Amino acid sequence: VDEAEVDDRIATMASAAGQAADRVRALYRDPDARQDLRTQMLHGRALDAVLRHARVTTVPAENFVAAPE
């Protein structure tokens, strides 16, 4: 995730925040907050990739064995 993508996400969040837009921008001037946002964006990309490649197979319930108690 590059700086331009982080900036775009911050702009989107600030726009959605309405009157609190300045507070959103101020929050993300902090390098730690920017890094946290970048990490969230990377996690989102990773999850998207997993879901794109996931194959779901339906199997009958009787194929499962109950765990011993």
In whole angstroms, how far apart are CA 6 and each of 23, 40, 52?
Answer: 16, 10, 23
Q: Is the pLDDT of residue 22 over 90?
A: yes
Q: Is the pLDDT of residue 61 over 90?
A: no
pLDDT band for 11, please (50, 70, 90 cuts). very high
Instruction: Check residue 56 and give its pLDDT.
Output: 86
Buried-exposed string 29-61: b where 16+ CB fall within 10 A, e elsewhere: eeeeebeebbeeeeeeeeeeeeeeeeeeeeeee
Q: What is the pTM of this model?
A: 0.72
* pLDDT per residue as tens digits for the range 28-57: 999 999 999 999 999 999 999 999 999 988
**Dist. CA 33–CA 67, nearest whole Å:** 44
